[in-house]
Amino acid sequence: MKLSSVRKGPFTLYTIETGRFKLDGGAMFGVIPKPMWEKQIPADDQNRIDMAMRCLLVKSEQTGRLYLIDNGSGDKFNEKMSAIYDFSYPYGNLHDSLAAHGFTADDVTDVIFSHLHFDHCGGTTSYNEAGEPELVFKNANFWVGAKHWATANSPNIRERASFFKENLEPMRLSKRMKFTKEGDEFEPGFGMAFVHGHSEGQQLPVIRTGDFSLVFAADLIPTAAHVPMPWVMGYDMRPADTLSEKEVLLKQWFEEGCYLFLEHDAQNEVISLVQGKRYIEAGDAITLADL
């Protein structure tokens, strides 16, 4: 299984692979012409590109808490949806990855969501023998941006198809929902940045310890090909805002020496940032173990 880990200060970081799926390449790159984006990520005969659902497990040696950032799409899709997205598990699923690092879902104390689109939170629940969705993480708190929780529960017509009741309702009923806002931290050295172009209130977890910084880039920078300024997803609710957020945050993260952990890039796990002629660009592609 393609997994890696690293200890940085009080945090041990683990790659969690939850599966692969495919999305339309045109939708992933918006106004960028196919002859340009296909050089970066080739498409299949249905114009779909390979996408990872790579999550990050963070163990705090100070507090003993075990944080899981996002958890993939889960296993609740019917045959039609499975065919559309072509789900596959070349490196195992969520539970395989946890087990490879010596953990189970019951060990997770906190599930942090970048946002609640199905490919980021579907692993939160699974169907029981009665066909009802139940929580996979029996002992965890569920952390999401307060603004995004409101969006997920009252989405606009364009975004509605990305939020599934079977993922959200069991969390609501659990009484373990926790809501974050600007300036919050999960614990010292572990905070978040908020962005709103892709979906209102998306939170990007950030780990800072000593001279090391790592950003879970989620759907602000889903792949290394999305680092260049004009390369923005057609899925974004407010693409002009995404451009502004990228320009500000990439400059900040480059100056800070941040690495980006890429959730959806099927080939690249972590990248550095470098200064280009005009804007910040993607640097070296590495793994957690290389940090």
100-156: pLDDT as tens digits: 999 999 999 999 999 999 999 999 999 999 999 999 999 999 999 999 999 999 999
Quote the Cα angle for 143-111-136, to 5°: 125
280: nearest Cα among 256, 246, 241: 246
Q: Are 167 and 111 in contact (CB under 8 A)?
A: no
Mean pLDDT of 22-50: 97
pLDDT at 58 over 60: yes
pLDDT at 14 over 70: yes
Q: What gap in Å lies between CA 75 and CA 217, rounded to an integer?
A: 24
What percent of the chain has pLDDT above 90? Answer: 98
Mean pLDDT of 165-174: 97
Q: What gap in Å lies between CA 285 and CA 270, rounded to an integer?
A: 6
pLDDT at 68 over 80: yes
Q: What is the DSSP string of the chain?
A: ----EEEETTEEEEEEEEEEEEEEHHHHHTTS-HHHHTTTS---TTSEEEEEEEEEEEEETTT--EEEE-----S---HHHHHHHT-B-TT--HHHHHHHTT--GGG--EEE-S--SHHHHGGGEEE-TTS-EEES-TT-EEEEEHHHHHHHHS--TTTGGG--HHHHHHHHHHT-EEEE-TT-EEETTEEEEEE-SSSTTEEEEEEEETTEEEEE-TTTS-SGGG-STT---TT-SSHHHHHHHHHHHHHHHHHHT-EEE-SSBSS-SEEEEEE-SSSEEEEEEE-GGG-
Q: How confident is the model over 22-35, as pLDDT tens digits?
A: 999 999 999 999 99
Q: What gap in Å lies between CA 254 and CA 20, rounded to an integer?
A: 29
What percent of the chain has pLDDT above 70? Answer: 99
pLDDT at 43 over 70: yes
Domains of the chain: 5-290 (3.60.15.10)
Taking only Cα atoms into account, the Rg of the chain, rounded to an integer number of angstroms, comes to 18
Q: What is residue 3's predicted lDDT score, i.e. its pLDDT?
A: 84
Mean residue pLDDT of the chain comes to 97
Mean pLDDT of 247-267: 98
Q: How confident is the model over 201-236, as pLDDT tens digits?
A: 999 999 999 999 999 999 999 999 999 999 999 999
Q: What is residue 1's predicted lDDT score, i.e. its pLDDT?
A: 53
Neighbours of 153 (CB within 10 A): 13
Q: What is residue 106's predicted lDDT score, i.e. its pLDDT?
A: 98
